[in-house]
Amino acid sequence: MITIGKLAGLTSVSNDTLRYYEQEGLISPAGKSPAGYRLYDRDSARRIHFIKHAQQCGFTLAEIRDLLELRSRDKACCGDVRARAIEKKLQIESKIRAMKAMSKALDQLIAECAKEEQPVQECTIIAALERANGSKKVQ
Amino acid sequence: MFYSPGCAACEDRQAELRAAARDTVSGVEWCDVNVLENMDAAVALGVITLPSIVIDGEVAFTSLPTKAQLCKELIERRGSRK
């Protein structure tokens, strides 16, 4: 059994983050020391590594909690996890598409602004952004 | 209908929903689309959860509807196209 500080050192995660994970139900102490300090077992370290890897793949903490629950559920199968991975890939691909569209829009604005020495009041990029805002429907 | 292969819930309901759609709108074209083989199409249509049902190029359901919900949606869309 290890203290929160040791767990933080083992996993390269701050104490505050570990407390947050606990608050979010992602980890829980296995017991308490006689002095009342939280104590964690080795499974907590494994869970934290799992959380970090899943975050790198784009999963939110809520989704990670769901994955951790699946991991411990007897009736869950690989297909359940795979379905979540496919959905995450769809979300990432969708974001990439949106980012590409934004990048393309910026390319156009950059190309249209050919006069770098022009005063900022005449900046075509700012004017275009203002136009885009003005043309937005008010609901 | 966009689905991920291995989704037991999708497989169970696909045939039922397909039949309901065909019974509701004559000549309806129903496609079961494996999202892994058609990722670009799914993303282009805005599918981000599975299973999803896209009708006339729009995501109409982001989870499996009941037969009644699907039929209602199809009837409403058919009405608005007339």
What is the total count of domains within chain A?
A: 2
Residues A12 and A54 in one domain: yes
Å from A75 to nearest chain B CA?
13
Helices and strands (H and E) in chain A: how many: 6, 3
CATH number of residue A49's parent domain = 1.10.1660.10
Q: Are residues A51 and A86 in the same domain?
A: no
Residues A75-97 pLDDT 10s: 767 777 888 899 999 999 999 99
Residue A68 lies in a domain: no
Decide the pairing of beta strands B33-34 and B2-3.
parallel
Q: Are B2 and B52 in contact (CB under 8 A)?
A: yes
Residues of A in contact with B50 (CB under 8 A): 83, 86-87, 90
Read off the pLDDT of residues B14-66 as tens digits, 9 standing for 90 and up: 889 999 999 998 889 999 999 999 999 999 999 999 999 999 999 999 999 99
Domain residues for A123? 82-134
**Cβ–Cβ below 8 Å for B49 and A89:** no
pTM for the whole structure: 0.72
ipTM of the complex: 0.76
Does some domain include residue A30?
yes
